[in-house]
Protein backbone atom coordinates (compact mmCIF):
# COMPACT_ATOMS: atom_id res chain seq x y z
CA UNK A 1 0.00 0.00 0.00
CA UNK A 2 2.87 2.39 0.87
CA UNK A 3 4.47 1.68 -2.51
CA UNK A 4 1.27 2.64 -4.35
CA UNK A 5 0.96 5.79 -2.24
CA UNK A 6 4.53 6.84 -3.14
CA UNK A 7 3.92 6.21 -6.84
CA UNK A 8 0.70 8.23 -6.87
CA UNK A 9 2.33 11.05 -4.90
CA UNK A 10 5.29 11.25 -7.30
CA UNK A 11 3.04 11.24 -10.37
CA UNK A 12 0.83 13.95 -8.85
CA UNK A 13 3.85 16.09 -8.01
CA UNK A 14 5.24 15.84 -11.56
CA UNK A 15 1.76 16.55 -12.94
CA UNK A 16 1.28 19.69 -10.86
CA UNK A 17 4.82 21.11 -10.97
CA UNK A 18 6.23 19.84 -14.25
CA UNK A 19 9.73 18.45 -14.83
CA UNK A 20 11.90 18.08 -11.71
CA UNK A 21 15.23 16.60 -10.73
CA UNK A 22 15.26 13.63 -8.36
CA UNK A 23 16.76 15.89 -5.70
CA UNK A 24 13.98 18.46 -6.05
CA UNK A 25 11.40 15.70 -5.88
CA UNK A 26 13.07 14.24 -2.79
CA UNK A 27 12.90 17.59 -0.99
CA UNK A 28 9.25 18.07 -1.94
CA UNK A 29 8.30 14.62 -0.66
CA UNK A 30 10.67 14.62 2.33
CA UNK A 31 12.59 11.50 1.32
CA UNK A 32 16.19 10.70 0.45
CA UNK A 33 17.52 11.42 -3.03
CA UNK A 34 18.33 7.73 -3.46
CA UNK A 35 14.76 6.80 -2.50
CA UNK A 36 13.36 9.28 -5.03
CA UNK A 37 15.66 7.95 -7.79
CA UNK A 38 14.62 4.36 -7.08
CA UNK A 39 10.95 5.27 -7.34
CA UNK A 40 11.58 7.18 -10.57
CA UNK A 41 13.49 4.28 -12.12
CA UNK A 42 10.61 1.92 -11.32
CA UNK A 43 8.15 4.35 -12.87
CA UNK A 44 10.39 4.68 -15.93
CA UNK A 45 10.32 0.89 -16.37
CA UNK A 46 6.53 1.14 -16.47
CA UNK A 47 6.77 4.01 -19.02
CA UNK A 48 4.98 6.38 -16.63
CA UNK A 49 7.90 8.84 -16.45
CA UNK A 50 10.87 9.70 -18.62
CA UNK A 51 13.87 11.98 -18.35
CA UNK A 52 15.86 14.48 -20.38
CA UNK A 53 19.06 16.48 -19.79
CA UNK A 54 18.81 20.22 -19.15
CA UNK A 55 21.88 22.38 -19.49
CA UNK A 56 22.96 24.09 -16.26
CA UNK A 57 24.69 27.46 -15.97
CA UNK A 58 27.50 25.80 -14.03
CA UNK A 59 28.54 22.16 -13.97
CA UNK A 60 27.01 19.08 -15.52
CA UNK A 61 23.57 19.02 -17.17
CA UNK A 62 20.67 18.22 -14.86
CA UNK A 63 18.58 15.09 -15.36
CA UNK A 64 14.96 16.24 -15.39
CA UNK A 65 12.09 13.82 -14.84
CA UNK A 66 8.62 14.29 -16.33
CA UNK A 67 5.42 12.38 -17.02
CA UNK A 68 5.08 10.41 -20.23
CA UNK A 69 1.84 10.34 -22.20
CA UNK A 70 0.94 7.14 -20.34
CA UNK A 71 1.69 8.90 -17.05
CA UNK A 72 -0.69 11.73 -17.92
CA UNK A 73 -3.39 9.17 -18.65
CA UNK A 74 -3.26 8.03 -15.02
CA UNK A 75 -5.31 11.11 -14.16
CA UNK A 76 -9.10 11.19 -14.63
CA UNK A 77 -10.59 12.30 -17.94
CA UNK A 78 -14.25 12.34 -16.88
CA UNK A 79 -15.30 9.54 -19.23
CA UNK A 80 -13.98 11.31 -22.31
CA UNK A 81 -15.05 8.68 -24.86
CA UNK A 82 -18.69 8.76 -23.77
CA UNK A 83 -18.69 12.57 -23.70
CA UNK A 84 -17.26 12.74 -27.20
CA UNK A 85 -19.94 10.36 -28.43
CA UNK A 86 -22.64 12.53 -26.85
CA UNK A 87 -21.19 15.67 -28.49
CA UNK A 88 -21.14 13.94 -31.86
CA UNK A 89 -24.74 12.78 -31.37
CA UNK A 90 -25.95 16.26 -30.38
CA UNK A 91 -24.20 17.79 -33.39
CA UNK A 92 -25.61 15.19 -35.80
CA UNK A 93 -29.17 15.56 -34.51
CA UNK A 94 -29.39 19.27 -33.66
CA UNK A 95 -26.47 20.76 -35.61
CA UNK A 96 -23.82 23.19 -34.40
CA UNK A 97 -26.50 25.51 -33.05
CA UNK A 98 -27.83 22.72 -30.84
CA UNK A 99 -24.34 22.05 -29.51
CA UNK A 100 -23.93 25.74 -28.73
CA UNK A 101 -27.16 25.62 -26.74
CA UNK A 102 -25.86 22.67 -24.73
CA UNK A 103 -22.59 24.51 -24.01
CA UNK A 104 -24.52 27.66 -23.03
CA UNK A 105 -26.70 25.69 -20.63
CA UNK A 106 -23.62 24.09 -19.04
CA UNK A 107 -22.01 27.52 -18.80
CA UNK A 108 -25.08 28.94 -17.04
CA UNK A 109 -25.26 26.08 -14.52
CA UNK A 110 -21.57 26.24 -13.64
CA UNK A 111 -21.64 30.04 -13.41
CA UNK A 112 -24.58 29.96 -10.98
CA UNK A 113 -22.79 27.39 -8.80
CA UNK A 114 -19.53 29.37 -8.72
CA UNK A 115 -21.24 32.71 -8.11
CA UNK A 116 -23.22 31.29 -5.20
CA UNK A 117 -20.00 30.01 -3.59
CA UNK A 118 -18.03 33.23 -4.21
CA UNK A 119 -20.81 35.53 -3.02
CA UNK A 120 -19.96 34.83 0.62
CA UNK A 121 -16.27 35.76 0.16
CA UNK A 122 -15.14 39.17 1.39
CA UNK A 123 -11.96 39.65 -0.67
CA UNK A 124 -10.12 38.51 -3.78
CA UNK A 125 -7.89 36.07 -1.90
CA UNK A 126 -10.85 34.16 -0.49
CA UNK A 127 -12.62 34.08 -3.85
CA UNK A 128 -9.56 32.66 -5.59
CA UNK A 129 -9.06 30.02 -2.91
CA UNK A 130 -12.72 28.91 -3.01
CA UNK A 131 -12.68 28.76 -6.80
CA UNK A 132 -9.47 26.69 -6.78
CA UNK A 133 -11.01 24.29 -4.26
CA UNK A 134 -14.11 23.83 -6.40
CA UNK A 135 -12.06 23.31 -9.53
CA UNK A 136 -9.88 20.72 -7.77
CA UNK A 137 -12.99 18.86 -6.68
CA UNK A 138 -13.95 18.77 -10.37
CA UNK A 139 -10.59 17.21 -11.29
CA UNK A 140 -8.54 20.21 -12.46
CA UNK A 141 -5.77 19.93 -9.81
CA UNK A 142 -6.12 23.66 -9.20
CA UNK A 143 -3.86 25.81 -7.06
CA UNK A 144 -3.31 29.53 -6.53
CA UNK A 145 -0.34 31.87 -6.55
CA UNK A 146 -0.32 35.41 -5.22
CA UNK A 147 1.29 37.94 -7.56
CA UNK A 148 0.31 41.03 -5.56
CA UNK A 149 -2.48 42.22 -3.28
CA UNK A 150 -4.67 42.79 -6.34
CA UNK A 151 -3.48 40.00 -8.65
CA UNK A 152 -3.53 36.21 -8.38
CA UNK A 153 -2.94 33.21 -10.62
CA UNK A 154 -5.38 30.31 -10.81
CA UNK A 155 -3.27 27.34 -11.94
CA UNK A 156 -4.86 24.18 -13.34
CA UNK A 157 -2.37 21.35 -13.77
CA UNK A 158 -4.85 18.85 -15.19
CA UNK A 159 -7.77 19.07 -17.60
CA UNK A 160 -10.40 16.37 -16.94
CA UNK A 161 -12.22 17.35 -20.14
CA UNK A 162 -9.07 17.51 -22.29
CA UNK A 163 -10.36 15.16 -25.01
CA UNK A 164 -13.62 17.09 -25.19
CA UNK A 165 -11.82 20.42 -25.40
CA UNK A 166 -9.64 19.06 -28.22
CA UNK A 167 -12.80 18.16 -30.11
CA UNK A 168 -14.67 21.38 -29.32
CA UNK A 169 -12.70 24.50 -28.40
CA UNK A 170 -15.91 26.24 -27.34
CA UNK A 171 -15.71 24.41 -24.01
CA UNK A 172 -12.46 26.27 -23.27
CA UNK A 173 -13.92 29.56 -24.45
CA UNK A 174 -16.88 28.89 -22.18
CA UNK A 175 -14.69 28.36 -19.11
CA UNK A 176 -12.82 31.63 -19.66
CA UNK A 177 -16.13 33.48 -19.95
CA UNK A 178 -17.37 31.82 -16.74
CA UNK A 179 -14.35 33.10 -14.80
CA UNK A 180 -14.75 36.59 -16.26
CA UNK A 181 -18.39 36.72 -15.19
CA UNK A 182 -17.62 35.28 -11.74
CA UNK A 183 -15.40 38.24 -10.86
CA UNK A 184 -17.36 40.92 -12.71
CA UNK A 185 -16.48 44.23 -14.35
CA UNK A 186 -14.03 45.31 -11.65
CA UNK A 187 -11.60 42.53 -12.56
CA UNK A 188 -9.57 41.49 -15.60
CA UNK A 189 -9.32 37.76 -16.29
CA UNK A 190 -7.02 36.36 -18.96
CA UNK A 191 -5.56 32.97 -19.81
CA UNK A 192 -1.77 33.32 -19.73
CA UNK A 193 -0.92 29.64 -20.29
CA UNK A 194 -3.01 27.22 -22.31
CA UNK A 195 -2.75 23.45 -22.41
CA UNK A 196 -4.10 23.26 -25.95
CA UNK A 197 -1.46 25.70 -27.21
CA UNK A 198 1.36 23.42 -26.08
CA UNK A 199 1.78 24.62 -22.48
CA UNK A 200 1.80 21.94 -19.76
CA UNK A 201 -1.11 23.52 -17.89
CA UNK A 202 -3.74 26.26 -17.98
CA UNK A 203 -3.11 29.42 -15.98
CA UNK A 204 -5.61 32.23 -15.47
CA UNK A 205 -4.40 35.66 -14.36
CA UNK A 206 -7.04 37.43 -12.28
CA UNK A 207 -6.42 41.09 -11.47
CA UNK A 208 -8.44 43.80 -9.78
CA UNK A 209 -8.73 46.88 -12.00
CA UNK A 210 -7.50 49.98 -10.21
CA UNK A 211 -8.47 53.34 -11.70
CA UNK A 212 -5.71 55.91 -11.43
- Say how far apart CA 156 and CA 144 lie, in whole Å: 9
181-211 burial, b at 16+ Cβ within 10 Å, e below that, comes to ebbeeebebebebebeeeebbbbbbbbeeee
CA atoms within 13 A on the CB side of 81: 0
Instruction: Summarize pLDDT for 136-156 with one digit per residue, the tens.
Output: 888 888 999 999 999 999 999
- pLDDT tens for 173-207 read 788 889 999 998 899 999 999 988 888 889 999 99
- Contact between 158 and 141 (Cβ < 8 Å): yes
Can you tell me the distance from the alpha carbon of 110 to that of 137, in angstroms, rounded to the nearest whole number? 13
Q: Is 0.75 surpassed by the pTM of this model?
A: no
Domains of the chain with CATH codes: 2-72 (1.10.10.10), 80-208 (3.30.1380)
Core vs surface per residue 82-115: b (16+ CB within 10 A) or e: ebeeebeebbeeeeeeebbebbeeebeebbeebe
| pLDDT more than 90, % of the chain | 37
What pLDDT was estimated at residue 48?
92
pLDDT at 9 over 50: yes
Contact status, residue 49 vs residue 43, Cβ threshold 8 Å: yes
User: Which long-range contacts does 38-44 make (Cβ < 8 Å, 24+ apart)?
Assistant: 39/6, 39/7, 39/10, 40/10, 40/65, 42/7, 43/7, 43/10, 43/11, 43/71
| Alpha-carbon dihedral sign for residues 166, 13, 126, 149 | negative
pLDDT tens per residue, range 42-99: 999 999 999 888 877 777 888 889 888 788 878 766 556 656 677 788 788 888 888 7
Distance CA 8, CA 124 (A): 32
Q: Which residue has the higher pLDDT, 45 or 161?
A: 45
Beta bridge partners of 62: 54
Amino acid sequence: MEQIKNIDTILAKLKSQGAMTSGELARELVMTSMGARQHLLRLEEKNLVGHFLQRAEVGRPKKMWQLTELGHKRFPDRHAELTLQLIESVTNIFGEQGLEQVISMREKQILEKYQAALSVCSDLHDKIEILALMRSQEGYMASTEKVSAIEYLLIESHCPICAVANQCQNFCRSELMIFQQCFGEGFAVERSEYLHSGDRRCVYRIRKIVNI
